[in-house]
Amino acid sequence: MKKLSLSIFFVVFLFSFSLNASNENLYKKLDTFGDVFQTIRSNYVTTINEEEVIEAAINGMLQSLDPHSSYMNLDNYKDMQEETNGKFGGLGIEVTMENGFVKIISPIDGTPGAKAGIQPGDYITHIDDESIFGLSLTEAVDQLRGLVGTTVKLKIARENEEEPLDISITRAIITVEAVKYRKEGNVGYIKLISFSEQADRGIKKAIKALTTEIGKDKIIGFVLDLRNNPGGLLGQSIEVTDNFLTSGEIVSTKGKDKSNIGSFKASRGDMTNGKPIIVLINRGSASASEIVAGALQDHKRAIIVGEQSYGKGSVQTIFPLNDRSAIRLTTALYYTPSGDSIHKIGITPDIEVTRSKKSDPADNTDNQLDYALDLLIKDSIIN
């Protein structure tokens, strides 16, 4: 009865999200779903896991909308909450689904995925020698996760590489430190790794610490590094941006529901007291990173340096369900202060600087960062 009630729940779920009482065709489709499910239960060659079949049907419905909408069962939902809090298990990669394969949005700096050489734009085609074509994003992510200390073998298709790459990664507990910072001469360097719940707090701490360490009168500016930052919480992107603006719109959102239509404005004041800012982005900068970069660019508060960003301009809302599972649903698109949507386009840098193949974080060679630092130093000399 419990499993059968799950099918009834699915019909109610469809009804509550989609049904127009006057639409007879939709009633017929709901009846068809029930017929198909009952036929599978009665006639499929082996005994099915009914809950898994229902979950796959729900996820298929959501995935038909866009790659960012998905179903999360109890375990997936719990994992998602751990990620948002900044601590989770896995490889340390942000992914989406495209053309039937898992596409890397960004490896998170300092995690096993980044250390193994995973790059933004890579496609995972096989996991442990098994093709993932046809799997949902949730199913693929489940295979990527595993016990800490175990190794997963990935086959990677990469642009400009004729042959697929085999990369083995050892799973680990991923503790994401949202913000790292250091002084580079008289410049404050701030690396924002993810927009978890610690992001705004970490940015505030970094600005205050660097200003004190370098000296309020000696600090010549800041580099905000958003490269390979896959995004995170929308609210945190607004809070982070508010630390650098005195006024004006940060981002606006537009969706079908009135609750998803809004404009968010700066209100706190500029913590840097108007010091020059350079923002570094690349194609691994997505979502919340693009909100920050777009707002600072439109207000001419920062110079954007690097490469075209990823182009994820949609907002996902988590809807918890009665059985403690949840769905992640795209509910709005966001727009920069100039009114532009960057969805599937990205943020275009003011100054394009392609990452040199010779750049290596392990020995501190980074041509994009060097360019940003030189730009700030030259600007301070001119002024």
Give residue-wise pLDDT tens across range 69-107. Answer: 989 888 888 877 776 666 667 899 989 888 889 999 989
Residue 312 vs residues 121, 146, 164, 284: alpha-carbon distances, Å: 13, 28, 26, 10
Note the pLDDT of residue 1.
42
**Average pLDDT in the 107-126 region?**
93
Instruction: Among 3.40.50.280, 3.55.50.30, 2.30.42.10, 3.90.550.10, name the CATH number for the domain at 87-175.
Output: 2.30.42.10
**Average pLDDT in the 2-20 region?**
48
Note the pLDDT of residue 28.
84
CB 239 within 8 A of CB 257: no
Give residue-wise pLDDT tens across range 21-67. Answer: 557 788 888 889 889 999 999 999 999 999 889 988 998 899 889 88
What are 234's two structure tokens? Answer: 């929308």
Q: Assess whether pLDDT exceeds 90 at residue 306.
A: yes
DSSP codes of every residue in 26-47: HHHHHHHHHHHHHHHHHHSSS-
What are 380's two structure tokens? Answer: 């301070």
Note the pLDDT of residue 382.
53
Note the pLDDT of residue 362.
53
Note the pLDDT of residue 315.
85
Give residue-wise pLDDT tens across range 224-269. Answer: 999 999 998 889 999 999 999 999 999 999 988 877 789 999 998 9
Q: Assess whether pLDDT exceeds 70 at residue 20.
A: no
Q: Assess whether pLDDT exceeds 60 at residue 19.
A: no
| Chain mean pLDDT for the chain | 88
Give residue-wise pLDDT tens across range 139-160. Answer: 898 899 888 889 999 999 999 8
Domain ranges (residues) in the chain: 2-72, 87-175, 179-382
Q: Assess whether pLDDT exceeds 90 at residue 317.
A: no
Whole-prediction pTM value? 0.77
- Report domain 179-382's class: alpha beta
Residue 120: how many CA atoms within 13 Å on its side-chain side?
Answer: 20
Give residue-wise pLDDT tens across range 351-360. Answer: 999 988 766 6
- Catalytic positions are 287, 298, 312
* Residue 313: strand, helix, or coil: coil
